[in-house]
Amino acid sequence: MADRRATARSMRGFTLVELLVALAVMALLSVMSWRGLDAMSRTQALTQTRSNAVQALRNGLAQWVADLDAMDTDLPAARTLRSTPSPLEWDGLSLRITRHSADTEGPGLQVVAWTARTEQGRKVWLRWQSPTVRSRAALQLAWTQAAQWAENPSAASRANQVRIVPLLDWQLFYFRGDSWSNPSSTADAASVTPDAIRLQLHLPEDQPLSGKVTRDWMRATAGGSKS
C-alpha cells in the first residue's frame, strides 16, 4: 500500500501553482535575455557609429593634406598655365587650392575648394573638386566655379562635392614671418604662399566625435616636417 501511494505521488505531475511559478521564471529569464541582447546591440551600433565617424574624419584630414601636398607652387609649365594670383586663396568662406592632378591620362591641374556650409539643418565640412584641366581658360573657369560653389552651390556643382564631417565651425591660420596669423591679416595675403597652415575643426557635442581637432601642415620647401 505504501508503495502504491509513493508511485501515485511521483506520477501526479506539477500543480497549477508550480506551473505558474515555472512560467514566471521563464518569462523573467526571457526579459533579462532580451534586455541583455538589446544592450549588446545598442553598444555595437554606437561603437560602429563612432568608428565610422573616426574613419570619415581621418579620410577628410588625409585628403586635406594630400591637396596641400599636391599644391602647384613652383613648376614653370604649370605656372604659365595658371592665371590665378596664388596656388591657394582664402576668401573668408572657402579655401581654394590649385593642385596637380592625379589623372593617369597625363599631367594637368585641378581646383579644389574646402568650406563649411549648413546642409539639411546641420553645418558640415565639405570638399569640392574640378575635373582635370589643361588650358588657362579651363583653369580660370574652374577657379571661378569653386568660388561660386562655396557661396551659392548649384545642383550641378553639388555633384562634385563630398561631405566630410558635421562641425560647429572651422578656422585657418597661416604661418608667415615666424608667427601664426589670420590668412587675411596682410594686404599681400593672396600672393604669398604660407610656410605652414593650421586647420582647426570644432566638432559638435551631440556627435560621436566632439571637441576641437587641430591639424598642422608644413610646406616641404619651408623645411622641417609635417605634424
The pLDDT tens digits for 186-217 are 545 545 688 999 999 999 998 888 899 999 99
Between 30 and 78, the more confident residue is 30
| 3-12 per-position pLDDT tens digit | 555 555 555 6
Query: Residue 168 has what DSSP assignment?
Result: S
Residue 155: enclosing H or E segment and its boundaries?
Answer: helix 155-158
Sorting pLDDT into bands at 50, 70 and 90, what band is 225?
A: very low
Per-residue confidence (pLDDT) for residue 176, from 0 to 100:
86
Residue 101 has φ and ψ, to the nearest 5°, of: -80, 150
Per-residue confidence (pLDDT) for residue 78, from 0 to 100:
47
Query: Residue 71 has what DSSP assignment?
Result: B
| 68-114 per-position pLDDT tens digit | 999 987 544 445 555 554 688 999 999 999 999 877 777 889 999 99
Q: Which of 142, 125, 145 is nearest to 133 (CA)?
A: 142
Residue 154 identity:
S
Query: What burial class does residue 117 get, using C-beta atoms within 10 Å of its C-beta: 0-12 exposed, 13-18 middle, 19+ buried?
Result: middle
Domain boundaries of the chain, sorted by first residue: 49-222
Q: Which three cell numbers stand for residue 86?
A: 596664388
Sorting pLDDT into bands at 50, 70 and 90, what band is 38?
A: low
User: Is residue 81 within 8 Å of 135, Cβ to Cβ?
Assistant: yes
User: Is residue 203 within 8 Å of 169, Cβ to Cβ?
Assistant: no
Residue 201: enclosing H or E segment and its boundaries?
Answer: strand 196-203
Residue 112 identity:
V
Between 14 and 54, the more confident residue is 54
| 126-161 per-position pLDDT tens digit | 999 999 998 888 999 999 999 999 999 999 999 999
How many residues comprise the chain? 227
| Interatomic CA distance for residues 17 and 53, integer angstroms | 54
Residue 53 has φ and ψ, to the nearest 5°, of: -65, -40
Per-residue confidence (pLDDT) for residue 72, from 0 to 100:
83
Between 190 and 41, the more confident residue is 41
Per-residue confidence (pLDDT) for residue 27, from 0 to 100:
76
pTM of this prediction? 0.75
